[in-house]
Amino acid sequence: MRRSISLRLSVWYASAATITLAVLFAVGYQLLESYLVHGLDQLIAAEFRQVRARLGPHYRQLSARDVNQRIQATSGYDSVLFYIDVRAPQDDAIFASKNLDGRWMPEVADRHGYSATLPGIGRLRIEEFALPPFVVLIGTSSQQIYEDLDGYVEICVGLLAAMFGVSTLIGFALSRVALRPVRLIRETALRIGSDNLRERIPVSGVRDEIAELARLLNQMFDRLESSFNAIRRFTAEASHELKTPLSLIRLQAEKLLMKGELSVECEESVQMQLEELARLSRIIEELLFLSRAEARVITLRLTVECPRAFLGAFAQDARVLAEHRGRCFELHCVGDGRVLFEPQRIRQVLLNLLVNALNASPAGGRVRMCSEISNGCWRVSLEDQGPGIAAADRERVFERFVRLDKRALDEQGSGLGLAICRSIVELHRGRIWCEPACAGGGLKVTFVIPADALSMPEPVSASGWAEAHGTPGAVGT
Ligand SMILES: Nc1ncnc2c1ncn2[C@@H]1O[C@H](COP(=O)(O)OP(=O)(O)OP(=O)(O)O)[C@@H](O)[C@H]1O
Ligand SMILES: [Mg+2]
């Protein structure tokens, strides 16, 4: 599965933004808590000042009973807000406010202000004051503060979830914009192939890393184009240059034969030379065709044809050829329509596929051709009962001079047939591939061309074509 950089960037962006906000919320929680607790501490301190004022400056001379009575008088009205307990040295209880219901507030060593939970009362903020020889503990409920802080946490969690969602969307949109030049590079690079080496990646005026990458790729394509052109020129020129001396040799050999002065042995040898010369000429013609097709200098003579009639005529020849080789040939046509193609070239494709299939089929074997017109495409397949081709070689056989079994197959073959078929089909903006035959062993070679080749957009990439015309995923590229 392809992993999208846009998606990853947006998740990273959203995570970073959400984590930053979470840290801010946590700091906010701490600040808010200490601010609210500080407010409670101030209230408690005010209450202590009131208690101390009530006891007066000479409180040390007061009896425990007097102390109790005076504090009682002060704290009576404040019992809704404050919990007070006063202790003498050695923890002798002097006073405990009524709202404590006989409980004692806990003391924490070395701390003057702390929080504690009292059963039946709840969470308290407690302050410890020294009023020698007494210790005064005053507490007030901090329940409301923590309820408010819980509300704060709930709001923060909601905001964080919203932040993650919104920042994912913003991050995705931003990364799409930022990665647009990369997508452009990808799309152009996909279109550039051996048959379309002139196109270049558009380079933006901004001097950034992506523009630099596009420039480097363009330089690489320049080098590739010039080497491809050099190879093509060499093939075309070599084939062209070889044609004339070969014709001369053939003429000389034919002259020798016509004179009739040769011994039987010499005549046989000249005949053999003529056969080999014919084969060599054919290879040269085919190589010339391939290099011209690659250079896109071949113009098809397209005509609107009825595939059923065209294949019907081809089937007559195919049956004769098959019978001659001791095999049988069948044709099945599905769907009617008109297709734009060059009959002579498509016939060349069919003939090569047929000869291959007859070569591979066992004696008495059946070669079946199926034609179908549907979804604006013409699909032709040829199926045989031969040994088939291993998956690893199915794409290789479309390369030049690839012959898998030189002994079993026709020795006259040069291994250029399928390469030529692919060139012709691609000139018709189509695709050709092979796969195992549907019934048992054997090979099925299929080609598909758009019914109206002219309506196809200018050079399509292999994958683009396959997507647009729904050829199977197994299609080799
Ligand atoms: N139907 C088939 N079954 C099995 N193998 C096949 C079949 N068609 C092609 N091949 C293999 O693919 C190779 C390439 O085929 P291709 O048509 O390109 O060349 P060729 O038939 O050997 O020679 P040419 O077509 O140039 O006379 C063949 O040599 C053969 O090994
Ligand atoms: Mg062949």
Four-CA torsion 322, 324, 327, 329, nearest 10 degrees: 30
Choosing from 354, 356, 446 the residue with most ligand 1 atoms within 8 A of its CB, the one to mutate for a pocket test is: 356
User: Exposure pattern of 322-348 as b/e (b: 16+ CB <10 Å)?
Assistant: beebebebebebeeeeebbbbeebbbb
Closest residue by Cα to residue 246 from 284, 272, 290:
284
Cis peptide before 133 (omega within 30 of 0): yes
Sorting pLDDT into bands at 50, 70 and 90, what band is 151?
very high
Give the Cα separation of 86 and 109 in Å (integer): 16
Fold of 209-294: Helix Hairpins (1.10.287)
Look at the chain and count its residues: 477
What is 5-149's CATH number? 3.30.450
Sorting pLDDT into bands at 50, 70 and 90, what band is 410?
low
Closest residue by Cα to residue 123 from 101, 106, 102:
106
Residue range 54-113, pLDDT digits in tens: 888 888 888 878 888 888 777 666 777 899 988 877 767 788 888 888 888 888 888 889
Give the Cα separation of 403 and 416 in Å (integer): 9
**What confidence score (pLDDT) does residue 249 get?**
92
User: 351 CA to middle of ligand 2, Å?
Assistant: 9
Rounded to an integer, the average pLDDT of 229-257 is: 87
Question: Where along the chain do its domains lie?
Answer: 5-149, 209-294, 303-469
Strands (E), 314-464: 328-334, 339-341, 366-374, 377-383, 431-436, 443-450
Task: Tell me the pTM.
Answer: 0.57
Question: 293-296: long-range contacts (C-beta < 8 A, 24 or more apart)?
Answer: 293/423, 293/424, 293/426, 293/427, 294/194, 294/195, 294/232, 294/423, 295/232, 295/236, 296/195
**What confidence score (pLDDT) does residue 458 get?**
43
Choosing from 281, 393, 409, 447 the residue with most ligand 1 atoms within 8 A of its CB, the one to mutate for a pocket test is: 409
What is 303-469's CATH number? 3.30.565.10
* Residue 80: half-sphere exposure toward Cβ, Cα within 13 Å: 1
User: 418 CA to middle of ligand 1, Å?
Assistant: 7
**What confidence score (pLDDT) does residue 297 get?**
78
Closest-CA residue, ligand 1 atom 17, reads 417
Rounded to an integer, the average pLDDT of 430-440 is: 89
Residue 476 has pLDDT above 80, yes or no: no
Residue 147 has pLDDT above 60, yes or no: yes
Four-CA torsion 458, 464, 465, 469, nearest 10 degrees: -130
Top-confidence residue, 310 or 81: 310
Which ligand 1 atom sits nearest the alpha carbon of residue 286?
Answer: 26
**What confidence score (pLDDT) does residue 262 get?**
85
Instruction: Report whether 82 contacts 137 (CB < 8 A).
Output: no
401 DSSP assignment? T
Choosing from 418, 420, 432, 434 the residue with most ligand 1 atoms within 8 A of its CB, the one to mutate for a pocket test is: 418
Which ligand 1 atom sits nearest the alpha carbon of residue 415?
Answer: 19
Top-confidence residue, 402 or 475: 402
Question: Any residues with Cβ below 6 Å from ligand 1, and which?
Answer: 352, 356-357, 360, 384, 386-387, 389, 397, 402-405, 409, 413-419, 443
